[in-house]
Amino acid sequence: MRSVIFHNSNTAAQEKCRGWPQAWRRKQELRSARTSKPKILILIRVVAMHAETNDLAPSTSFSRAIDIAASRRATTSTLAAAADLSSLVEPSFSFSHRPGLFDEAGRLMLKNLTLPELEEWCLSVAGEPAKRAKQLYRWLYGTRKWIRNLDQADGDPQAFSAEFKSKVFSGASLEGGLQLQSVHTARDGTRKLVFALLGAEQGGPARGTHGTVETVLIPMTNRSGENLRYTACLSTQVGCAMNCQFCYTGRMGLLANLTTAQIVEQVVEARRYLAEQSVPIRIANIVFMGMGEPLHNYDSVMATIEILATGLELSRNKIIVSTVGLVPEMRKFIAAGTAKLAVSLHATTDEVRDWIVPTNRRYPLDQLLGALRESFPYDKRKGDDFVVIEYVLLAGVNDTLEDAQRLLALTSDIYCLVNLIVFNPHEGTPFRRSADESVRAFRGVFLTAGRPCTVRTSKGDDEMAACGQLGDVNLSARPAPMLKPPDALAARLVGTGAGTVATPLVMAGETGSGCCGGN
């Protein structure tokens, strides 16, 4: 069969194509009986033609080869035949639906894969047993390993064979798609890590975007002020489509979704950075509260959680995903049960929430809270299976005692923890931070009723690393619009000293961290 397929191809092209994954050749041979020989010849000529120019890696997908052929004006009939056959000869994987899996050279970016997916790739493409995937996982994510290429494992008893390295190099990449650009350290020890997204020409995902994304490491201290661990606040998108009015990230609009590899790489690079700085404190908690709406990038985030739990060995109970309330995706997330959920409520009436959280216009309060009542019924509460209700306090907008009473009533039949967030001002905002007395009074309504309620301590605000401050509006050619407030509230925003930074509120015995992007 092989001699027929490579008929009229030159020797160099034949040798290059013979290096393609065994699964591809096996699939080709099995399907050959019901595929016309002329069409196969056309397809192979398209691919071989570009293999000769050395611009295709052996694992380059046929769709990518066809794209290149189209750019070089291959005939319409040739492209049509190739496209018709591509579904027959491309290896298919359970993870093929996720975006950003391949770099521009057609290499699979392995940090996109969960352990079962990596095992699938090893078996079907590299011809390696599942244990090889576990070995690779340990080197990618194991403590103080975090290798960038397989050669870094040389000299170790658990190093890789030359044959395996050759297979990986020819068809895969260990690149994470991010590069640490700068670190900003706040007075309280909070560290904001700014990452540059690698473009396609730099080894990033094909058709990847340029720009930056931010991750925050928040020190968690005990009563004596000792730094015991870090909470890592991760970003899932460049910008955000939700346009929450109090959030700086939301002003950017959505520029791009991050791939699984790019989200995972934030934690890998953060661990590597702390090790290089000889910081003995470990990252123990993960919150998806940075730039972007996590459930708007659902598949990539769910795969990331699996890698964090199995590869980086972080407890699922220490991973929290925050959402503004995309109800269908939220229901899927709850059913999966892979991590804990936080919901950004921020208002007690549809009128106010329609304004400050525009997603409410699609999923209003009764629909959102109804889903939470079904999944977290108070009368069937058990252990730590609760939802966190996040509520940013905005002076004169949603911080009255009437708001507190409504929030208490709305959540009375939901097993939840209410987490109040002190607003962190930024340039151009019309909102103000609530007075300390208002925050105490709001919280007091819950404490009097015997309901748990905490205040999230603001951390990192002097370096724009606190809740609602991440991102760079200058990256966006068309910043998201500020929406018209309800008439009853408009007067409260005029002449209020917008952007004034109040004294940070810290209350003894409270929990919560200073994250980050607004969710």
Which position has the higher pLDDT, 84 or 209? 209
Read out DSSP for 117-145?
HHHHHIIIII---HHHHHHHHHHHHSTTT
pLDDT at 276 exceeding the cut of 60: yes
- Under the banding of pLDDT at 50, 70 and 90, the label for residue 516 is low
Region of poorest pLDDT, from 55-59, 359-363, 476-480: 55-59
pLDDT, tens only, 85-123: 333 334 578 888 888 999 888 899 999 999 999 999 998
pLDDT for the residue 9: 37
Q: What is the pLDDT of residues 299-340, one digit of tens each?
A: 999 999 999 999 999 999 999 999 999 999 999 999 999 999
Task: Read off the pLDDT of each residue in 78-84 and give the average, rounded to a whole number.
Answer: 46
467 is catalytic: yes
Least confident of 23-32, 86-95, 416-425: 23-32
Looking at residue 451, its pLDDT comes to 97
Angle subtended at Cα 179 by Cα 112 and Cα 287, rounded to the nearest 5 degrees: 60
Check whether 7 has a pLDDT greater than 60: no
> Could you tell me how far CA 378 lies from the centroid of its own chain?
31
Task: Kindly indicate the confidence band of residue 10, based on its pLDDT and cuts at 50, 70 and 90.
Answer: very low
Confidence at residue 244, expressed as pLDDT on a 0 to 100 scale: 96
3-state secondary structure of 102: strand
User: Confidence class of residue 280 from pLDDT cuts 50, 70 and 90?
Assistant: confident
Position 148 scores a pLDDT of 87
- At 511 the pLDDT is 42
Band the pLDDT of 23: cuts 50, 70, 90.
Answer: low
Q: How far apart are CA 41 and CA 167, in angstroms?
A: 26
Least confidently predicted of 11-15, 197-201, 404-408, 415-419: 11-15
Distance CA 485, CA 202 (A): 44
Question: What pLDDT shows up at residue 267?
Answer: 98
Query: How much is the pLDDT for 371?
Result: 98
Beta strands in 146-247 (DSSP E): 172-173, 178-185, 191-197, 212-221, 227-233, 237-239
Query: Poorest-confidence range of 96-100, 256-260, 281-285?
Result: 96-100
Selected residue with higher pLDDT from 127 and 269: 269
Q: Which of 233, 247, 453, 467 is catalytic?
A: 467
Q: Tell whether the model's pLDDT for residue 20 goes beyond 60.
A: no
Q: Which residues contact 156 (CB under 8 A, 6 or more apart)?
A: none
What CA dihedral angle connects 254, 259, 262 and 264, to 10 degrees? 120
| SS3 of residue 184 by DSSP | strand
**440 C-beta neighbours (distance < 10 Å), count:** 14
The reported pLDDT for the residue numbered 199 is 85
Name the pLDDT band for 477 (thresholds 50, 70, 90). low
Give the per-residue pLDDT at 519. 63
Mean local confidence (pLDDT), 1-10 = 35
pLDDT, residue 91, reads 55
Higher pLDDT, 109 or 40: 109
Q: What is the mean pLDDT of residues 397-420?
A: 98
What mean pLDDT, rounded, does the chain reach?
81
pLDDT at residue 495, as a whole number: 44
Alpha carbon 483 to its chain centroid, in Å, reads 27
E strands within 402-474?
A: 416-422, 453-456
Tell me the average pLDDT across 347-361: 98
Using the CB atoms, write b or e for 446-460: b if 16+ within 10 Å: beeeeeebbbbbbbb
pTM assigned to the model: 0.79
444: left (phi over 0), alpha (psi -120 to 50) or beta: alpha
pLDDT at 297 over 90: yes
pLDDT reading at 71 higher than 60: no
In the chain, the domains with their CATH numbers are 2-89 (no CATH), 108-173 (1.10.150), 232-493 (3.20.20.70)
pLDDT at 387: 98
Catalytic annotation, pick one of 120, 128, 175, 214? 214
Report the C-alpha gap between 195 and 211 in whole angstroms.
Answer: 8
- pLDDT reading at 68 higher than 70: no
E strand or H helix at 73: none
Burial class of residue 252 (count of CB atoms within 10 Å of its CB; 0-12, 13-18, 19+): buried
pLDDT of residue 181: 95
210 compared with 277, residue with greater pLDDT: 277
- pLDDT, residue 466, reads 67
Query: Residue 60: is its pLDDT beyond 70?
Result: no
Q: Is 404 helix (H, G, I), strand (E, B) or coil?
A: helix
